[in-house]
Structure 1
Amino acid sequence: MTKHPGNAGAEMGPLLFARYAFPPNELGYCGPEDAAEKSLFASASSTPEEIRPLARQFSAAWPYLELIAEANELADPLDQRVVSAYWVGNELLDRVALQAFVGSTIVRFEQRFGRSVEDLTYPLLHGATLHHNFHVFAIYPWLGVLRNKHTEGPLQILEQCRIRWGRVMSISSDAIMVASQFLVFDGWRLSLGEERIEKVHIPPGSTEGRLGSGDRLEVGDWVTLHWGWLCEKLEDHSLLGLQTTTASIMSAVNSPPERS
């Protein structure tokens, strides 16, 4: 997403958050349930002020934004740097202390379902960071379900829910085709397989070759994908951030738990 001078973080952060949060909200998985509020996420004309109060209703994402902001002494959880850290990955993630996560509502909520602190923090002790993909692979139950039942459904949920990167292969008035690597499961480990080309949805308000009112999109550009929607054009450093963050998280969850 294009950067702007001045108070760009305050203005662009909520809009960037909406780009990533809109797909699961549109599917009814998280966030506002009220039709009028949902429509704000689906509108290209929504303002940061309209998005801000709705972002708090994303009960999975919001605690992470708060942790990242506090660890980096940023007052606004929807600062663009914080939002980008959570969805894409950047240096802000490295500053979140393990104990901050242990004391968070994320852990307290999961403990209600019998999960231990040791289980929840194991990936963080093995290189993972508090990125959205950490929540997908380590906090959500789907990887455990996949390992127990070896069914296709959980793998597809993990695939669609994670933030993944892809390369734009073609652009037309009615379709954008993107090549990306899909998850492969061997019975315990997750890895990335060969590239596949898929048709993806584009953000509300987009036109041929332009994402919303922002970045111009060209064949060969790298982008992020969430639940089948194209969310953001990636610069080289952001692509590397998402790739390395995802690799670290997958390596951590692939490590067999140590038994005492």
Structure 2
Amino acid sequence: MTCGPVLFARFAYPPNALGYCGPADSEAVRGYAGAGTVDPGLVDLAGRFTGAWPYLQLIAAASRITDPLDARVVRAYWVGGPLLERVGAGLMRAHLEERFRRRIGGHWADLTSAEMTGARAHHNFHVFAVYPWVGLLRAEFAEEPLRVLDRCRIRWGRVEAVGTGSVTVRSRPLVWDGLGLALGAPRDEQVMPGPGIEVAVGDVVALHWDWICHRLDASGLAVLRHYTMSQMALVNAAPRPAPVLDRGPGTRASL
């Protein structure tokens, strides 16, 4: 089983390498993810992902786990799991208020509306609900917001072929029907094996941007599917998903 800090690095590396979040030293993150080793340097790097780290702290505190990089906590944030259910609605609301209210302005009610009471401290909630992309889709700016949403979320797929430096994965992309997000028909995509990741045909994997980050067992696939669909449904039901943050992928403090 992958330890928590290394699991974090494997999921955090893809957007970090693109310059979207975390510290500037993406090669250090890659090195830790590939080597599978843990030292204070990796812990320090993880704490500098200012989008993800507070969620890890929240999940850990709600479960009385002292280490935010405990593997159970890290897995809950990126993939899903029972620890997310220990973060009650009031605690989640307080967390969002502390982090984002000053940056939301008049859109605060959108993020904390009745439709959002099912919000969970999962990466896909942050992507769907906190970033401005769904709001841009509703304003009919479709192509780039949909691409970013699809790549930035944690998604699942099945390995169809393994080549030299690339892997063919069959997955379901996000689609926008003018009213809400949904999953489209399965299609093949070309991705890369993440640092330290080895896969074989038939493996089910978790992907972040264009990288494979983790192999999923049956329970991992079930929880990732559950939290993806539930967080997508609550955003679709909200009357007006808010463009909460003034910065999304493309700037380093966003994830």
Fold match by TM threshold 0.5: yes
Aligned to 2:65: 74
Check whether the contact 2:116–2:235 (CA below 8 A) recurs between aligned residues: no
The answer to whether 1:202 aligns with 2:193 is: yes
- Larger RCO: Structure 1 or Structure 2 (Cα < 8 Å, ≥ 6 residues apart)? 2
Query: What residue ranges of structure 2 are gaps of 5+ in the alignment?
Result: 241-255
Whether 1:146 aligns to 2:128 is no
Q: Distance in 2 between matches of 1:205 and 1:236?
A: 21
Cα 1:115/1:180, change in 2 over 3 Å: farther
Q: State the one-letter code of the partner of 1:88.
A: V
Compute the RMSD of aligned alpha carbons. Answer: 1.7
**Which string of whole-angstrom CA distances, capped at 9 and with x for unpartnered residues, describes residues 58-109 of structure 1?**
11101110110000010000000000000000000001022222322x4334
Question: C-alpha distance in 1, partners of 2:128/2:238?
Answer: 14
8 A Cα contact 1:163 1:226, kept in partner:
yes
| Residue in 2 that maps onto 1:214 | none
Deviation per residue, 1:198-254 (Å, 9 max, x gap): 111112245xxx2xxxxxx22111100101100000000010000011111111111
1:120 and 2:102 are equivalent in the alignment: no
The residue that corresponds to 2:28 in the other structure is 40
1:221 aligned onto 2:203:
yes
Deviations 1:93-145 (A, max 9, x none): 001022222322x43342223155432223541x3321100000001111111
Aligned-residue offset at 1:16: 0.1
**In the alignment, which residue of structure 2 is the partner of 1:7?**
none
Relative distance call for 1:61 and 1:140 in structure 2 (3 A) is same
**Which residue in the other structure is 2:84 paired with?**
93
**Over residues 22-72 of structure 1, what are the superposed CA-to-partner deviations in whole Å (9 max), with x where a residue is unaligned?**
000000000001xxx322111123632221111111111011101100000
Q: Determine whether 1:255 maps to 2:243.
A: no
Which position in structure 2 is the counterpart of 1:20? 11
Q: Is 1:128–1:245's contact at 8 Å kept on the other side of the alignment?
A: no
Structure 1 stretches (4+) deviating beyond 4 angstroms? none
Show the counterpart of 2:101: 111
**Superposition TM-score, scaled by structure 1 size:** 0.85
Q: Give the structure-2-normalised TM-score.
A: 0.87
Alpha-carbon distance in 1 for matches of 2:167, 2:153 = 20
Q: Measure, in 1, the Cα distance between the counterparts of 2:67 and 2:165.
A: 37
Give yes or no for contact 2:84–2:122 (8 Å, CA) kept in 1: yes
Q: How many residues align?
A: 235
Match of 2:212 among 219, 227, 230: 230
**Which amino acid is 1:82 matched to?**
V
C-alpha distance in 1 between matches for 2:145 and 2:111: 19
Tell me whether 1:243 sits opposite 2:225 in the alignment: yes
Letter of the 2:10 counterpart: R
Could you say which residue in structure 1 is the equivalent of 2:48? Answer: 57
The 2-side partners of 1:246 and 1:52 are apart by 27
Inter-partner Cα distance in structure 2 for 1:219 and 1:115: 49
Distance of 2:54 and 2:110 partners within structure 1: 19
Report the identity percentage. 47
User: Do the aligned partners of 1:69 and 1:75 also contact (CA within 8 Å) in 2?
Assistant: yes
Greater radius of gyration (CA): 1
Check conservation: 2:206, 2:214, Cα contact below 8 A: yes
Report the secondary structure of 1:219's partner residue.
Answer: coil
The equivalences for 1:176-187 within 5 A come to 176-187=167-178
- The residue type paired with residue 245 of structure 1 is Y
